[in-house]
Structure 1
Amino acid sequence: LIIGLFNWNISAFTGFPAGFIPLWVELIRTGAITSIRNVMIDGQVLALISTIVIFCIVVYFEGMRVEIPLSHQMVRGARGRYPIKLIYASVLPIILVSTLQAVIQMIGMQLWHSGVPLIGNNALIGAYSAVSPTEPISGLMYYLNPINSPYDWIPSLVAERFHMLGAIPPDGWQIVLRFVINVVFFIIGGIIFAIFWVEVSNMNSEAVANQIHRSGLQIPGFRRDPLTLKKRLDNYIPKITVLSGALIGGLALFSSLFGLIGGISGTGMLLAVGIAYRLYEEMASQQMMEMYPFMRRFFGEE
């Protein structure tokens, strides 16, 4: 994001500085502002708005949670809450989705430049531009290529980009199909990897119930038993896990549709905001444990 704001390097695509602030200095100096499209897309105003909107949405969603009341069996009057956040699986699932996309594209590039019989240099699998060897221009790899800016899904901008790549622009239905595949890939992939991440990171109902039980906490009005806790948590965690994966996938795709400052991906933006929010939560957690030392057992700190 910082580089995206202050980068003075000249972009080969536009001929202007790549950073937002240097770009506008140059646009104003040269009088190159000629149209709304010039301001919103080439001037990165749309990317700036998209960055701010995504930042606010992610912070808002990070703060949304279901809180399960807890009480301590040994300390009368000591009560707390176990928060189950809306973005329960964090942004790790969408990182895995993006990694999978990158691996698929890498395989496609290797096949296009290889001499493997049938699948090597096969345009049906994926043909790549001679101008930009990492840019698929047709075949299966074109549809699986992630959308990163308006130049990937707005027909007039897609045509402009393909002309610069020295390739024939895709038809409208091909652009729509690529868009739909990206939506399905991000949302379904986000759900699958969210479930996977919750299971392998001990964030599922059973693991959380055992953690609460070992800490000496219980849900008021319920028997202090891990199975009872698990049944209660089963009402929330599995559903929120699926919703979390779909939501993160949708946010990552939405942020990529309009571009972001610095040309970062939607996944990178979500990761940056997530890290900042986790740092804030860690500071709050440390402060809470200083005020209530018995909570150290719950967080695994003896």
Structure 2
Amino acid sequence: MSEASIKDRLEPFLNRLPAVAKPKGHVHFKTKLMWTIAILLLYFVLTNVPLFGLHPDSRDLFAMYRTIMAGEFGSIVQLGIGPIVTASIILQLLVGADIIKLDLSDPKDQSIFQGAQKLLVLVMITMTAALQLLGRFLLPNYELAGTLGVSVSAVIWILFIQVAIGGILILFMDEIVSKWGIGSGVGLFIVASISQAMVVGLFSWEPDPFAIHPFTGAALPVGLIPKWHEIFTTIDMGWLLGGDGLFFFLLSGGLMALLGTILIFIIVVYVESMRVEIPLAHSAVRGARGKFPVKLIYASVLPIILVMALVANIQMGGMLLWESDVPILGNNPMIGEFIDGVAVSGLMYYLAPIAGPHELIPGVHEPGQILLRVIIYLAVMIIGSIVFALFWIETTGMGPKKVAERIQRSGMQIPGYRRDIGVVENIMKRYIPNITIIGGAFIGALAALASFTGIIGHAGGTGLLLTVSIIYKMYEQIAKEQMSEMHPMMRTLLGGE
């Protein structure tokens, strides 16, 4: 059977999948803002809806990645954005490796790609929910089963249905924001999750297991403000100004996390403004000029989300193997030993992301092991970001060909060159792929640096990087929306309807 006939057979089925209707025309900014706020409020409500029948001893499989994966452990949105980004990774790799032959510049193939991605998300929701229940990370409440007079299996099915419904809700909420709101739902949920973690990291009095009082041995508060109040009211200033005191205050006291937060914020805002501007002139209106900006972070920070999701899924596989009885691979310390959900040895230790500066201090692991882990982490972040950035611009219409078509439709041309789409595409090829590679490598290295310094609230350096960049992108999109409403002729060039 030919590839064309397979695609023709699949297209009607994929088109019948439930979908949020596309707007028929231009969506006004106020409408987009209303939908974005409504979905954000719904997301916060869902994170506070607990799973009925969940045992208190259940464990969070994605505890280390929760701020990036969004959602909330023990809630109906337990899975967060995990299935969406995992499906995106798989499909982009299959299309990028030419295993699935789709021309994403063709609207028909693009529609098939989007339908296949949605179908794969539904499959990933089912698989992830089942793995967490079968792997005994989500435990059924046995007392509740006895009280209701039903079997434990019935409670497991109830949990599965709730988790699956939550995953499907996140899928359609993301689609609503993408079509009717500002930015994407994935980005919005990440910002909400990390912002919440940072608020907790500033004000919470909950004990911090990584910050122990040097004299009493008690855990200091998680929040930076109550933590500093505790330090300055119970510890002599002379000791704090000494060598041991300064080291304690830098790491356990949260000073490095504060400095890292400020540093990453400044770097991201500065880098977001770096761009190459290609001059444009209107072919029919004399004096009408513009510029097409190719930003250093051209592919945005979404490739980092894909890299982190890939790492999280590898760690999940390693954890499931460690707790399984699979011959050779199961419970094998060479593959990875896990304690409280964290890889402490084996291959998985070296592939695990670095959560903060406390993981760079020799103790359980030798300096050589830590150095090798840092090198592998940098390589994974940089190379992974480049690969996914290149895939991303092609699958989202940001490649040279699509940009050239958009400029041609707007009536603009590059001064000094004839008005020909092939000429514009060749000029775009000089800039877009190279800048995408440089930007991907830079953002990957910056994400790793952010993980080394740590940030307020243990939200993860990568999480802060994503949050600042996503907010900056949303600010730019809001400005673009307002400009397109004031100047409707600009919509075509800006990629609007």
Q: How does the TM-score come out when normalised to structure 1?
A: 0.91
| CA offset digits 1:146-194 (Å, max 9, x no partner) | 1121121232xxx1xxxxxxxxx22222111111100111101111111
Structure 1 runs (4+) deviating above 3 angstroms are none
* 3-state SS of 1:298 partner: helix
Q: 1:212 to 1:121 in 2, by over 3 A?
A: same
- In the TM superposition, residue 27 of structure 1 has moved relative to its aligned partner by 1.1
2:240 is aligned with 1:45: no
Compare 198-207 and 9-18 and name the one that shifted more: 9-18
Q: 1:5 to 1:203 in 2, by over 3 A?
A: same
Q: 1:272 aligns with which of 467, 476, 497?
A: 467
Aligned to 1:123: 333
Aligned to 1:11: 208
2:309 is aligned with 1:93: no
- In the TM superposition, residue 13 of structure 1 has moved relative to its aligned partner by 3.6
Query: What amino acid is the match of 1:213?
Result: Q
Aligned length: 287
2:343 is aligned with 1:136: yes
Query: What amino acid is the match of 1:223?
Result: R
Aligned to 1:285: 480
2:228 is aligned with 1:24: yes
Compare 13-22 and 79-88 and name the one that shifted more: 13-22
Counterpart contact for 2:221–2:227, Cα < 8 Å: yes
* CA distance in structure 1 between the aligned counterparts of 2:464 and 2:317, rounded to whole angstroms: 26
Aligned to 1:200: 395
| CA offset digits 1:189-228 (Å, max 9, x no partner) | 1111111111111111011001111111111111111110
Aligned to 1:109: 319
Q: 1:146 aligns with which of 353, 363, 374?
A: 353
Q: 1:64 to 1:255 in 2, by over 3 A?
A: same
* 3-state SS of 2:430 partner: coil
- In the alignment, structure 2 segments of 5+ residues that lack a partner are 1-197, 212-218
- In the alignment, structure 1 segments of 5+ residues that lack a partner are 160-168
Query: What amino acid is the match of 1:94?
Result: I
* 3-state SS of 2:233 partner: helix
- The residue correspondences of 1:152-301 to structure 2 (distance < 5 A) are 152-155=359-362, 159=363, 169-301=364-496
- In the TM superposition, residue 74 of structure 1 has moved relative to its aligned partner by 2.3
| CA offset digits 1:226-265 (Å, max 9, x no partner) | 1100111111001001011101100100000011111112
Q: How does the TM-score come out when normalised to structure 2?
A: 0.56
* 3-state SS of 1:119 partner: coil
Query: What amino acid is the match of 1:52?
Result: I
Query: What amino acid is the match of 2:232?
Result: I
Query: What amino acid is the match of 2:348?
Result: M
- In the TM superposition, residue 291 of structure 1 has moved relative to its aligned partner by 4.4
* CA distance in structure 2 between the aligned counterparts of 1:272 and 1:3, rounded to whole angstroms: 16
Counterpart contact for 2:258–2:456, Cα < 8 Å: yes
Query: What amino acid is the match of 2:235?
Result: G
* 3-state SS of 2:280 partner: strand
| CA offset digits 1:66-120 (Å, max 9, x no partner) | 0001111222111000000000010001111111111111111100000000000
| CA offset digits 1:273-296 (Å, max 9, x no partner) | 112211221232134324433112
Q: 1:236 to 1:125 in 2, by over 3 A?
A: same
Query: What amino acid is the match of 2:248?
Result: N
* CA distance in structure 2 between the aligned counterparts of 1:97 and 1:250, rounded to whole angstroms: 12
* 3-state SS of 1:11 partner: strand
Query: What amino acid is the match of 2:226?
Result: P
Q: 1:73 aligns with which of 263, 283, 302?
A: 283
- In the TM superposition, residue 122 of structure 1 has moved relative to its aligned partner by 0.2
| CA offset digits 1:114-142 (Å, max 9, x no partner) | 0000000000000112xxx2111110011
* CA distance in structure 2 between the aligned counterparts of 1:32 and 1:219, rounded to whole angstroms: 67
- In the TM superposition, residue 28 of structure 1 has moved relative to its aligned partner by 1.5
- In the TM superposition, residue 299 of structure 1 has moved relative to its aligned partner by 2.5
* CA distance in structure 2 between the aligned counterparts of 1:300 and 1:88, rounded to whole angstroms: 15
Q: Which has the higher contact order (CA 8 A, sep 6+)?
A: 1
* CA distance in structure 2 between the aligned counterparts of 1:13 and 1:50, rounded to whole angstroms: 17
2:293 is aligned with 1:83: yes
Query: What amino acid is the match of 1:21?
Result: I
RMSD (Å), alpha carbons = 1.4
Compare 277-286 and 183-192 and name the one that shifted more: 277-286
Query: What amino acid is the match of 2:346?
Result: G
